[in-house]
């Protein structure tokens, strides 16, 4: 299955992404995680990304897109993946469509996790990540509203909206049901056979 998960920071997107990937046996392709791994490893890519990340700004498309294209060429992404944190803008979504066309692939679903602003803020402040300064949080939230939310319209019927408030496992069950991958679901059978 090829999925994209979208949602504002603090909606629980990362947690749901992990649970989905474990359940479906697909790699979690998170651009934020890939950047952070590059920063920890001291790579040139990490150095280029770091300044933008600290400010809560987007890393330039050329850097991000090359990294995504490389990641999707790895063997574990041959039969499915979950994209998390990419695309984040309409331009990136258009670039992804072209990449998918050359790969002969389409996305099966776009999972949108939502939560009210006060829930989002509370969760982020409790997270304690290095780039979670109040300024960076505010910038990322604004960027989400202006740059990422338009993806919901772009992906149209592919989008399934999930309420991200509540118990983590209940939310996971909601996601599985809505993407047609819940246990016993007929749509799960052909995909399961390909892995």
Binding status of residue 56 toward ligand AMP by CB under 6 A: yes
Task: State the minimum distance, in angstroms, from the CB of residue 33 to ligand AMP.
Answer: 7
- The binder of ligand AMP chosen from 16, 38, 64, 114 (CB under 6 A): 64
Say which DSSP state 145 is in. I
Contacts of 111 (CB under 8 A, 6+ apart): 3, 4, 5, 6, 16, 20, 159, 160, 162, 175, 178, 179
- The binder of ligand AMP chosen from 20, 59, 113, 120 (CB under 6 A): 59
Binding status of residue 58 toward ligand AMP by CB under 6 A: yes
Q: Where are the beta strands (DSSP E) in the chain?
A: 2-6, 28-30, 81-84, 109-114, 159-163
Task: State the minimum distance, in angstroms, from the CB of residue 148 to ligand AMP.
Answer: 9
How many whole angstroms separate alpha carbon 28 and alpha carbon 169?
18
Binding status of residue 27 toward ligand AMP by CB under 6 A: no
The residue range among 30-38, 74-82, 113-121, 155-163 that interacts with ligand AMP, by the rule CB under 6 A, is: 30-38
The DSSP H or E segment spanning 15 is: helix 13-24
Cβ proximity to ligand AMP: between 13 and 181 the closer is 13
Say which DSSP state 164 is in. -
Task: State the minimum distance, in angstroms, from the CB of residue 147 to ligand AMP.
Answer: 9
Binding status of residue 52 toward ligand AMP by CB under 6 A: yes
Convert residues 127-146 into a mask of x (bound to ligand AMP by CB under 6 A) and - (unbound): -------------x------
20: exposed, middle or buried (Cβ count in 10 Å: 0-12, 13-18, 19+)? buried
Phi, psi of 51 (to 5 degrees): -60, -45
Contacts of 75 (CB under 8 A, 6+ apart): none
Residue number with the shortest CB distance to ligand AMP? Answer: 32
Q: Which residue has the tokens 């998960």?
A: 5
Task: State the minimum distance, in angstroms, from the CB of residue 9 to ligand AMP.
Answer: 6
Q: Which of residues 78-97 bind ligand AMP (CB under 6 A)?
A: 85-86, 88, 92
Binding residues for ligand AMP, per CB under 6 A? 9, 31-32, 35, 52-53, 56-59, 64, 85-86, 88, 92, 140
């Amino acid at each position: 299955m090829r999925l994209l998960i979208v949602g504002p920071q603090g909606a629980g997107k990362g947690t749901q992404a992990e649970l989905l990937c474990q359940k479906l046996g697909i790699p979690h392709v998170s651009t934020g995680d890939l950047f952070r791994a590059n920063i920890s490893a001291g790579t040139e890519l990490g150095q280029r990304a770091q300044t933008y990340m600290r400010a809560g700004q987007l890393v330039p498309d050329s850097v991000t897109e090359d990294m995504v294209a490389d990641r999707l060429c790895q063997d574990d992404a041959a039969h499915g993946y979950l994209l998390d944190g990419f695309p984040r803008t309409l331009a990136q979504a258009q670039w992804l469509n072209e990449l998918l066309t050359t790969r002969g692939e389409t996305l099966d679903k776009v999972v949108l996790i939502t939560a009210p602003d006060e829930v989002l803020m509370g969760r982020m402040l409790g997270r304690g990540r290095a780039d979670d300064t109040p300024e960076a949080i505010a910038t990322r939230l604004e960027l989400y509203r202006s740059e990422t939310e338009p993806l919901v319209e772009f992906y149209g019927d592919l989008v399934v909206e999930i309420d991200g408030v509540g118990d983590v496992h209940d939310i996971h069950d909601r996601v599985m049901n809505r993407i047609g991958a819940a246990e016993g679901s007929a749509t799960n059978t052909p995909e399961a056979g390909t892995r």
